[in-house]
């Protein structure tokens, strides 16, 4: 999770250059794959003829891949052994600060036997045959074969292998650099590192250590940024992003100058005909890993649920009322960018930190939200929302008390995740629900309850004994906002949602 409570924060990315990938070979016959790869390359060539800028960016990307040693041309052993060719295509990332175009290698494309590499590949660490691509700079030059030398994104095993390389590096550097080793092990998210602290000198030293450790293994750290400019040393070999530029990580934008988080949503694509398929496309366009926009996004998630209940076909037009709801939601998505969320959620030099959690349910959805309350010697109190989670009510209708219990279980799981993610000491944990029935169940012996209730109560009791449960009035319960949903405009001004005062 993207949870940062320190005053200072560093962000950087690692470019992989050395580690080789080993994958699994199946007993199934792969068949031939080069013909399909050439067919796809020919199709790309036709696009190049109509779009010279696309061709230039594609050539630049592939040339950089060769220059960095990520792939090398195969000249004399192309036909030896079992090999697999990966088709490829381009994806435009308009919001990228460094590379607008990336080439995606497609391991899901079926070959002559109808099998794709993803069908037989294992996600874990085993052995797999060579992976090749075909490429040429323009249609007038011959097609050449290239072998990958690195972890290849686009394969199902790539995330595991990339993270496992980092873990091994952390293990190897643990004795010499214990602090940096822990940062590498715990604070990388794929190839992005997010870390913060209270001491500028310590962060500057950590930056040097991280650079040395990662560089020793062929990982070049670049795209540094921080809310403390003095940490960004211009003499560093790695790239430093301009001060004031927004950084987008895990679907959330961070403004290092003002130290705020924001959501920069692109205009939601609207199709001429609103169908179940277009509804799912709309809901998938907004990524909210912390759930801070949950009260707005849950409104979109409820629409597909209603379509399933009505048994609407994939390409069938929506009923008028649901079409109106969808259109209204699409028109409001841009308003999310008007909401600024403080990243720093703990007061200066806190003497105590408490975690507050709330849960609630409605007929349509249930949800939970968590806040941190900190207090220092001078009496300064800070209470901030740090994350939330919501679920659409199941298709099979169940009673509101049972949905409230599902919300309590969701809160327990979310609270446990937060405890594991935070590096600060939590002095006490308090959970609230506005359902007296749920609170009575939680305080009851599971074996005396019906199966549905007993299983969830046992789960809550088993892993949340340290939390104190209490009743809260519905009008004072911030989880009510996420269980019922609201517009971005109303969410922006919701004091109940953003600041639950202690």
Find tokens 């349910």 and name the residue.
361
pLDDT at residue 129 in the model: 38
Q: pLDDT tens for residues 163-196?
A: 888 889 999 999 999 999 999 988 887 778 888 8
pLDDT at residue 403 in the model: 97
Sign of CA dihedral 302, 308, 313, 317: negative
Distance CA 502, CA 479 (A): 16
pLDDT at residue 234 in the model: 55
**Residues 101 and 119 grouped into a single domain:** yes
Place 473 in a pLDDT band, splitting at 50, 70 and 90: very high
pLDDT at residue 164 in the model: 84
Does residue 483 contact residue 435 with C-beta atoms inside 8 Å?
Answer: no
Long-range contact set of residues 246-251: C-beta below 8 Å, sequence gap at least 24: 247/11, 247/97, 248/95, 249/2, 249/11, 249/189, 249/192, 249/194, 250/2, 250/189, 250/192, 250/287, 250/289, 251/287, 251/288, 251/289
| Residues across the chain | 502
Range of the domain at 188: 8-17+160-262
Whether the pLDDT of residue 254 is over 80: the answer is yes
Mean pLDDT of 280-286: 75
Whether the pLDDT of residue 24 is over 50: the answer is no
Q: pLDDT tens for residues 330-389?
A: 888 888 888 888 888 888 889 999 999 999 999 999 999 999 999 999 888 999 999 999
The residue among 105, 131, 156 that closes a domain is 156
The CATH number of the domain holding residue 81 is 3.10.10
pLDDT at residue 244 in the model: 55
User: Bigger pLDDT: 408 or 25?
Assistant: 408
**Residues 65 and 173 grouped into a single domain:** no
Mean pLDDT value across the chain: 80
Distance CA 407, CA 361 (A): 6
Whether the pLDDT of residue 318 is over 80: the answer is yes
Does residue 122 contact residue 22 with C-beta atoms inside 8 Å?
Answer: no
**Residues 319 and 358 grouped into a single domain:** no
Residue 214: name the closest of 17, 8, 20 by CA: 17
**Residues 285 and 246 grouped into a single domain:** no
User: Per the structure, how many domains does the chain have?
Assistant: 4
**Residues 295 and 254 grouped into a single domain:** no
């Amino acid at each position: 999770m993207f949870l940062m409570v320190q005053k200072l924060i560093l962000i950087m990315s690692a470019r992989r250059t050395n580690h080789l990938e080993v994958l699994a070979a199946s007993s199934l016959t792969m068949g031939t794959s080069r013909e399909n790869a050439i067919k796809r390359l020919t199709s790309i060539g036709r696009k190049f003829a109509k779009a010279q800028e696309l061709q230039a960016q594609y050539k630049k990307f592939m040339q950089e891949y060769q220059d960095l040693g990520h792939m090398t041309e195969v000249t004399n052993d192309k036909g030896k052994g079992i090999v697999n060719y990966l088709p490829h295509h381009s994806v435009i990332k308009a919001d990228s600060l460094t590379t607008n175009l990336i080439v995606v290698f497609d391991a899901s494309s079926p070959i002559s036997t109808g099998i794709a590499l993803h069908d037989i590949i294992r996600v874990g660490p085993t052995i797999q045959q060579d992976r090749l691509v075909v490429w040429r700079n323009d249609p007038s030059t011959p097609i050449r074969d290239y072998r990958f030398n690195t972890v290849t994104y686009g394969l199902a095993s790539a995330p595991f292998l990339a993270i496992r390389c980092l873990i091994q590096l952390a293990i190897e550097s643990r004795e010499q650099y214990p602090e940096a080793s822990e940062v590498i092990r715990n604070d990388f998210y794929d190839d992005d590192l997010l870390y913060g602290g209270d001491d500028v000198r310590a962060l500057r030293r950590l930056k040097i250590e991280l650079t040395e450790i990662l560089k020793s293994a062929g990982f070049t750290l670049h795209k540094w940024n921080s809310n403390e400019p003095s940490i960004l040393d211009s003499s560093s070999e790695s790239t430093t992003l301009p001060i004031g530029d927004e950084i987008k990580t895990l679907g959330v934008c961070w403004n290092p100058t003002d130290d705020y988080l924001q959501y920069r949503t692109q205009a939601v694509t609207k199709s001429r005909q609103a169908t179940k398929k277009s509804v799912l496309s709309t809901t998938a366009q907004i990524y909210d890993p912390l759930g801070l926009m949950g009260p707005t996004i849950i409104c979109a998630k409820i629409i597909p649920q209603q379509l399933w209940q009505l048994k609407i076909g994939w390409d069938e037009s929506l009923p008028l009322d649901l079409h109106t709801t969808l259109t209204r939601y699409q028109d409001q998505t841009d308003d999310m960018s008007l909401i600024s969320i403080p990243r720093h959620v703990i007061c200066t030099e806190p003497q105590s930190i408490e975690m507050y959690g709330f849960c609630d349910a409605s007929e349509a959805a249930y949800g939970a939200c968590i806040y941190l309350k900190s207090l220092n010697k001078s009496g300064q109190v800070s209470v901030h929302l740090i994350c939330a989670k919501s679920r659409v009510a199941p298709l099979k209708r169940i009673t509101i008390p049972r949905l409230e219990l599902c919300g309590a279980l969701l809160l327990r799981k979310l609270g446990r995740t937060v405890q594991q993610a935070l590096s600060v000491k939590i002095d006490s944990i308090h959970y609230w629900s506005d359902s007296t029935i749920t609170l009575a169940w939680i305080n009851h012996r599971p074996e005396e309850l019906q199966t549905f209730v007993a299983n969830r109560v046992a789960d809550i009791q088993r892993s949340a004994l340290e939390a104190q449960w209490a009743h809260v009035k519905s009008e004072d319960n911030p989880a009510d906002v996420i269980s019922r949903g609201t517009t971005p405009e109303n969410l922006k001004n919701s004091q109940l949602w953003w600041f639950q005062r202690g």
